[in-house]
A and B are shown apart, each in its own frame.
Chain A
């Protein structure tokens, strides 16, 4: 299957700082990328959907000013956690797909964020 690379896989940051997570589709053009947050032993909570060249659509309850998403090209989307707090510590995972709903999504490896 297609490859989605997410970087970094782990990051530890201090409270109040910002962290950027990258999601790249390596062998296909991702018209849509999704960002999820996953708590231990829980499901993937959709945070936002981004389409290349347009603003991301955030799910209810997700602060768009805190979780900045940029989908500047067909192969790269970034999630920036601004002014991170310990409660932002979580597993963040991106997925990408080409086209609309009729195709599978390919997932990155995920990023374990720890805010201290």
Chain B
């Protein structure tokens, strides 16, 4: 079945630094979505990438979808304390949404 792998599992970042989390699927995806889950909360949708090679930005967050539509990345620049939480990628086939393991981000002030 479809598997979505995400690394790293944990990311400890100094405030102001950049970091990237990577997502890889064992199968070609229709699209990929990214979610953020704050501690104690539920996942909240951030963005969706559909096209091969697509790049989207949301302020300090840059999302990329690979050419083969099997991998994706999220890059955060100038990390802030508000960025803490777990970031999940979710690979979409036509009928289900499967999540990666998530990258839990903590920020050192």
Contacts and interface: CB of A to CB of B under 8 A. Distances in A.
A105 B50 contact: no
Contact of A101 (B30, B45, B104): B30
B69 to A, nearest CB: 12
A46 B99 contact: yes
Interface stretch (A11-19, A73-81, A107-115): A107-115
Interface string B70-101: 00000000000000000010101111111111
Interface residues of B, number: 25
A37 to B, nearest CB: 11
Interface residues of A, number: 27
Interface of B: 1, 6, 30-31, 33, 42-45, 48, 50, 88, 90, 92-102, 104
14 contacts: A34-B97, A43-B99, A44-B88, A46-B97, A46-B98, A57-B96, A93-B42, A93-B43, A95-B97, A101-B31, A101-B93, A104-B45, A105-B33, A105-B97
